[in-house]
Structure 1
Amino acid sequence: MTASANLLSVVIPNHNYGRFVGAAIASLDAQTHRPIEVIVVDDASTDDSVAQIEQALAGAKNLAGTKFLALAENVGKLGALNRALEHVKGHYFIILDSDDVLKPEYVERTIVELEKARTEDPSIAFLYTDCMLINAAGEELDRGKSAAWDPALLERYSFVPEPALCLAAPVLEAAPYDEAIRKGTKHHKWKKIVANGWNGRHLAEPLFCYRMHDANLSGIGKRVTAEVESGIGGERILSGYWPLQTTER
């Protein structure tokens, strides 16, 4: 496979996560896989996000390319994604939420496992993993688990996480995404991709860190933090925490 055919495009939508976004970008710079291009879209943040993004991108040494789009008006996560897609050049694609981080081997492992799965079933376009739940300071809380791939289950639950690794072509094919949807955005994206005939595969290993804090869009952070503080520990099935697609804010 040529370098260009092995290129991963990562879109990072960001809104007021200036305290976290630098770590997300650094986790891409630390990946064992190369080349990686990063497209950051700041969705009209009112904190110090722009300065933090510019600093993190300037400090990245291993990225094949970077693009920074600073939006003047807030358009939501799917709006940010729609605006980023015209800049995507990679064969592979990831959306990395700006408060999460990938373990260094994440991209390399998921590409290997995706290509292996595609030799068995060419309709498999994306591969997703379990995660470690971390707090705002980056300390591990518990393991977050997804479910084995079942397209019928996707009608009732949101269980495929960002940052699942996907072939870029199916993501582009399913665009544009409905910008009226502000919660359950990943559920909307995966449903559109699957509706076009694509399938996924689950790798039951915690290869990324999903940050729990009081500003998680889905509300999962407040819920998990409260559970941990009350002594409820152990693995969590994430489909019980993530909302389905909705236009509610």
Structure 2
Amino acid sequence: MTAAAAPPPLCSIVIPVYNRAAELGATVQSCLAQDYGAVEVILVDDGSTDDSFALCTALAAAAHPPGKAVRAVRQANAGACAARNRGMEMAAGAFLLFLDSDDAIPPEKLSTQIGAMEREGTSCCIADYLVVDADGRPLRRVSNDYPPEAFVTGFRSPSNSAIIFRRAALPAGMRWNTALDRMQDLDFMLRALSGMPDYSYVPEALYHYRMHDGARISDRYATGRPYAELFRSMARHLRAHPPARAGRGALLAAYGSRLLRSRLRMAALGLLRRLRGG
């Protein structure tokens, strides 16, 4: 008798939820429709005031395809970073993916990216992604064909869900920075990428970033660009976890230079709007 094949390593998908009852079902369904055989979806409701948590619990209680599971938890409103940190603590997978509650992933995402990591023995896999409208129609494709350190030195966002991490490759205790009201995803992803000793790249659009008129989980915070905290966050991280593919001083200097240019550009745009009376 032929022995049954061992199940693939589990992938945990962490989804923070805040007032997303209308869109969450489609997001979770895109996770459960993966052709990869071992998936847990972790829904962390961040004190929603609509029916989001009721939907989370219903999704967790529903029957799912073999190898697929949904877990749901609710916390007092503490923000997107705290919700993602709670999800990381709950995650049991060897692989980790962060997904927003209004976005989606195509069925082949996990098998393609995890397959590349398993074949090549790498710490993370980066893919391209699509920006889509509220109805899912493609608006543009974004290429992420860069090595990990280039995202850091270029102050370049790969977008959260374009990357799958091997959980063991992330520094122990690494968490999302709850001091940041904005640009938390850029901060976490660039800190994580700074320590990746190797990577795989898949030139396929394996994540759909949805543009719509509704609020995202972090949009309820006051508008701001916390550049000083972004720099402090990266500096603290690099002191504790030296970068894998570049010198610490050179990486931080390049990051700071690009961050400053971004800050000056945003200040100039704000001044221009005020001069125009906008």
Q: Kindly tell me: are residues 21 and 40 of structure 1, through their superposed partners in 2, closer, same or farther at Cα, counting changes over 3 Å?
A: same
User: Is it true that 1:66 corresponds to 2:65 in the alignment?
Assistant: no
Q: Contact 1:125/1:199 (CA < 8 Å) preserved in 2?
A: yes
Deviation at 1:96, TM superposition (A): 1.1
Q: Contact 2:12/2:95 (CA < 8 Å) preserved in 1?
A: yes
User: Is it true that 1:26 corresponds to 2:29 in the alignment?
Assistant: yes
Deviation at 1:194, TM superposition (A): 3.3
The separation in 1 between residues aligned to 2:149 and 2:166, in whole angstroms, is 18
- C-alpha root-mean-square deviation of aligned residues, in Å? 2.5
- Larger helix fraction of residues: 2
Q: Given residue 179 of structure 1, which amino acid in structure 2 is its aligned partner?
A: T
Structure 2 spans left out of the alignment, 5+ residues: 220-261, 264-278
The separation in 2 between residues aligned to 1:117 and 1:75, in whole angstroms, is 38
User: Is it true that 1:137 corresponds to 2:141 in the alignment?
Assistant: no
Cα deviations across residues 50-77 of structure 1 (Å, max 9, x unaligned)? 12323333345125433211112x2222
Partner secondary structure for residue 151 of structure 1: helix
Equivalence for 1:102: 105
Q: Kindly tell me: are residues 87 and 112 of structure 1, through their superposed partners in 2, closer, same or farther at Cα, counting changes over 3 Å?
A: same
Q: Given residue 125 of structure 2, which amino acid in structure 1 is its aligned partner?
A: L
Cα deviations across residues 22-81 of structure 1 (Å, max 9, x unaligned)? 111101111100111111101111222112323333345125433211112x22222112
Q: Percent identity?
A: 28
Spell out the pairing of 1:203-214 with structure 2 (5 A cutoff). Answer: 203-214=202-213
The separation in 2 between residues aligned to 1:104 and 1:148, in whole angstroms, is 24
The separation in 1 between residues aligned to 2:57 and 2:47, in whole angstroms, is 15
User: Is it true that 1:170 corresponds to 2:173 in the alignment?
Assistant: no
Residue of structure 2 aligned with 1:17, choices 12, 16, 20: 20
Partner secondary structure for residue 110 of structure 1: helix
Residue of structure 2 aligned with 1:151, choices 149, 152, 167: 149
Partner secondary structure for residue 107 of structure 1: helix
Q: Contact 1:9/1:94 (CA < 8 Å) preserved in 2?
A: yes
- Larger strand fraction of residues: 1
The separation in 2 between residues aligned to 1:54 and 1:218, in whole angstroms, is 22
Q: Kindly tell me: are residues 75 and 135 of structure 1, through their superposed partners in 2, closer, same or farther at Cα, counting changes over 3 Å?
A: same
Partner secondary structure for residue 66 of structure 1: strand
Q: Contact 1:25/1:57 (CA < 8 Å) preserved in 2?
A: no
Query: Looking at both structures, which has the greater relative contact order when contacts are Cα pairs under 8 Å and sequence separation is at least 6?
Result: 1
Residue of structure 1 aligned with 2:55, choices 52, 56, 68: 52
The separation in 2 between residues aligned to 1:27 and 1:127, in whole angstroms, is 19
Q: Kindly tell me: are residues 90 and 125 of structure 1, through their superposed partners in 2, closer, same or farther at Cα, counting changes over 3 Å?
A: same
Deviation at 1:115, TM superposition (A): 2.2
Equivalence for 2:227: none
Q: Kindly tell me: are residues 161 and 200 of structure 1, through their superposed partners in 2, closer, same or farther at Cα, counting changes over 3 Å?
A: farther
Larger radius of gyration: 2
The separation in 1 between residues aligned to 2:36 and 2:69, in whole angstroms, is 14
The separation in 2 between residues aligned to 1:146 and 1:197, in whole angstroms, is 15
Aligned length: 214
Q: Contact 1:26/1:56 (CA < 8 Å) preserved in 2?
A: no
Q: Contact 1:26/1:60 (CA < 8 Å) preserved in 2?
A: no
Q: Contact 2:95/2:167 (CA < 8 Å) preserved in 1?
A: yes
Structure 1 spans left out of the alignment, 5+ residues: 119-123, 220-242, 245-249
Q: Given residue 29 of structure 2, which amino acid in structure 1 is its aligned partner?
A: A
Q: Contact 1:158/1:184 (CA < 8 Å) preserved in 2?
A: no
TM-score (ref. length: structure 2) = 0.68
Deviation at 1:8, TM superposition (A): 0.8
